[in-house]
Amino acid sequence: MWDLLILNPMVNLLLLFYRLLGHQTVLAITALTLVVRLAVLPLTLKQQQSARRMQELQPELAKLQKKYANDKEALAREQMKLYREAGMNPMAGCLPLLIQLPLLYGLWQAIMRTLAASPMELVRLSQNIYSFIPGLTSLIPLQNRFLWMDLGQPDPYYVLPVLVVVTSWLSQKILTPPSTDPQSAAMNQQMLIMMPLMFGFFSISFASGLSIYFIISNLVTLLQYFVTPRQKPAQAVETEEPKEAERPKGPERPPRPPRRKGGRR
Amino acid sequence: MNRRLSLLTFGLALTVTLLLAGCSGGVRATTWTTLILHNGTLYVADLEQVRALDTETGQQTWAFPPTPDLRQYGPFYTVTLLNDELLLVTSYERTGGGLFARSRGVLRALSLNGGQMAWPQPFTADGEFIAPGAAGDGIFVIGNSDGNVYGLRIEDGALLWQYPTRSRVWATPLVISDTVYIASLDHHLYALDLESGALRWQFGAGGAMADRPLVLTDTLYVGSFDHNLYALRLADGTEIWRFTGANWFWGTPASDGTRLYAADVDGNVYALDAATGQEIWRSQVQGTVRLGPALSPDGKRLLVASENGTLFGLDTADGFVLWQQAGQGQLGSMAIGGEKVYVTRINAPQRVQAFYVENGRPVWSYPAQQQ
């Protein structure tokens, strides 16, 4: 079922792009990555939106934490109330991620399968190609040379793994909402280091064609983040101290105004 | 919530990591293991070691290296018999140190009687050696994943010539008198001069070619990923006929001299008239078939190995499946000797097995199965 619904369409789409784009494997991987990212765009936007709204709620959450520092139950209740009033579901960021993961894993698998660096992968590939599209099997094996690399092998000079780590860190950084809870903040910090390192490890261990996918994918994430319009602060949120959050001066630092599209403040 | 989301993401990432890294432990094979039958001994490239096994009992007579040492030698994949004294083995080893260590294909000559190293130093190439080589007239020829075909002096392993193709060479060459015939994934079959490696002719198919051609008198038969099995004139590579199957033809066909038996990767098994390419019968086995079929010495049984680990015995008269023997792991290679068929398996506890050709009954396994 997985092959039928996810893997086979992606493998064949990759082969079609390869044919259309002059037998350039890197271009074909880029095109497929863009198409899949476009397909999951609504979900990604939802995830980013959720992260941003969470970011905007941080000052309110900080206040609640301070106020109910000794009453965990009340804190949880008030937090949920705040989320409800802000019209957001705290798990809203997870769902799009969960839906995207199979697609992104399928994309990963399709690239590895189509690059067929090993004979075993090539045998498996024979079962993924649509016979009703003429000429696809004649494209096998894909042109695997790109610059100094064999796309079916890891980059021997570690240029791609470094790029993967850097772009993963940047995209992870912008997607991670800041947290007022010290435990969560520490966890986020750990994730910010571990996830890029993990992708770097993949990049060292697997075909460099996969690193191309990681880099393109991370660049798309960054691009999406910078071109999508920012939401205004949660003005509609009413807490027990609604005015406090809006007051520019006070004992606590006011929330940072959102960045404007295309410019810095 | 942040914490929960972080934990969830991390958990998912870890799961994906483990799945992709193949957390199975042991040697992670990238290709199949091979075996060769010679004078009552089976020589097997068995990932961790090269072994000599007694064909009657499956008892090991020697192994190289004596104790497995993957760190030094990497996994062993192929064995080629050079003559009565030498065996050539290939492995994929990490060379160099630190961050810039690379894996390279390594070729060693071992003495047939005790597994001692016979060349002053091994021959190395950039890519992996996927298939065994072939020898003739003091020269050993082998293809490599780096796209080259190498011609080496058997005596000491010195490089005599190399012929570059446009893609990986995963096929075993065929040496007939002074010519080497070798297929490449670049969609071509090349006929090269054995002594110099110079091109004599080439045949272009519509798809990649991944195994050794078969020769019958003055005709070569080779399968391609373009779903065709080609009959070519040995002298100049001119196409005589082609037969179109349902999917890729990967393995070398088998023949009794008049009929040709071939299998495509979808498990369709075909019996064809070798002279005309006319279909005589068609049968089907379950699973993906990569390995070429093997014919029993009496010509009555056709053995077909599927990638899901099942060995099938077919009646050559009509293609009827007489028996099937399922097993764990993928089948790497098979060789028929007298009334027995020997197979290698990867990703399985029993890595070499012997069965009776007639009925598929198991004879022995290596390592021996625990009672």
Which tens digit of pLDDT belongs to each residue from B20-61? 544 444 566 778 999 999 999 999 999 999 999 999 999 999
Cβ distance of B20 and A137 shorter than 8 Å: no
Higher confidence at residue B1 or residue A128?
A128
pLDDT of B154 above 50:
yes
Nearest C-alpha of chain A: how many angstroms from B94? Answer: 12
Q: What is the CATH number of the domain that holds B228?
A: 2.40.128.630
Q: How confident is the model at residue B247 (pLDDT cuts 50, 70, 90)?
A: very high
pLDDT of B6 above 60:
no
In chain B, whose CA is at the least distance from the CA of A108?
A: B20
Percent of chain A with pLDDT over 90: 25
The answer to whether position B293 is within a domain reads yes
**What domain range includes position A135?**
2-232
Query: Distance between CA B275 and CA B258 in Å, rounded?
Result: 7
The answer to whether position A253 is within a domain reads no
Tally of domains within chain B: 1
Mean pLDDT value of segment B310-335: 95
In chain A, whose CA is at the least distance from the CA of B184?
A: A141
> What ipTM was predicted for this assembly?
0.88
> Is residue A53 within 8 Å of A177, Cβ to Cβ?
no
Torsion of CA B234, B240, B244, B249, to 10 degrees: 0
pLDDT in tens, B201-226: 999 999 999 999 999 999 999 999 99
**Res A242: pLDDT:** 41
Instruction: Give residues with Cβ within 8 angstroms of A2, minimum separation 6.
Output: A106
**Res A241: pLDDT:** 43
**Res A46: pLDDT:** 76
The answer to whether position B228 is within a domain reads yes
The answer to whether position B79 is within a domain reads no
> Is residue A200 within 8 Å of A165, Cβ to Cβ?
yes
The answer to whether position B312 is within a domain reads yes
The answer to whether position A105 is within a domain reads yes
Percent of chain B with pLDDT over 90: 77
Cβ distance of B29 and A120 shorter than 8 Å: yes
Contacts 24+ apart (CB under 8 A), B360-367: B360/B311, B360/B313, B360/B322, B360/B323, B360/B324, B360/B325, B362/B325, B363/B58, B364/B57, B364/B58, B365/B58, B366/B44, B366/B51, B366/B53, B366/B58, B366/B60
The answer to whether position B335 is within a domain reads no
Residues from chain B that touch A206, judged by Cβ atoms under 8 A, are 20
Cβ distance of B100 and A198 shorter than 8 Å: no
Cβ distance of B31 and A183 shorter than 8 Å: no
Residues from chain A that touch B207, judged by Cβ atoms under 8 A, are 137-138, 140
**What domain range includes position B300?**
215-326
Q: Across the strands, what pairs with B342?
A: B335, B354
Angle at B249 between CA B246 and CA B251, to 5 degrees: 145
Cβ distance of B32 and A120 shorter than 8 Å: yes
Query: Distance between CA A2 and CA A14 in Å, rounded?
Result: 17
Cβ distance of B225 and A126 shorter than 8 Å: yes
The reply to whether A130 touches chain B by the CB within 8 Å rule is: no
Q: Is the pTM of this model over 0.90?
A: no
Residues from chain A that touch B12, judged by Cβ atoms under 8 A, are 97-98, 101
* Mean pLDDT taken over chain B: 91
In chain B, whose CA is at the least distance from the CA of A193?
A: B10
Nearest C-alpha of chain A: how many angstroms from B371? Answer: 32
Query: Distance between CA B237 and CA B230 in Å, rounded?
Result: 10
Which residue in A127, A141, A184 is closest to B208 by CB distance? Answer: A141
pLDDT of B148 above 90:
yes
pLDDT of A245 above 50:
no
Cβ distance of B32 and A119 shorter than 8 Å: yes
Cβ distance of A90 and B1 shorter than 8 Å: yes
Tally of domains within chain A: 1
Residues from chain A that touch B30, judged by Cβ atoms under 8 A, are 117-120
**Best of A81, A122, A127, A139 to disrupt the B interface by mutation (most B CBs within 10 Å)?**
A122
The answer to whether position B350 is within a domain reads no
Nearest C-alpha of chain A: how many angstroms from B79? Answer: 17
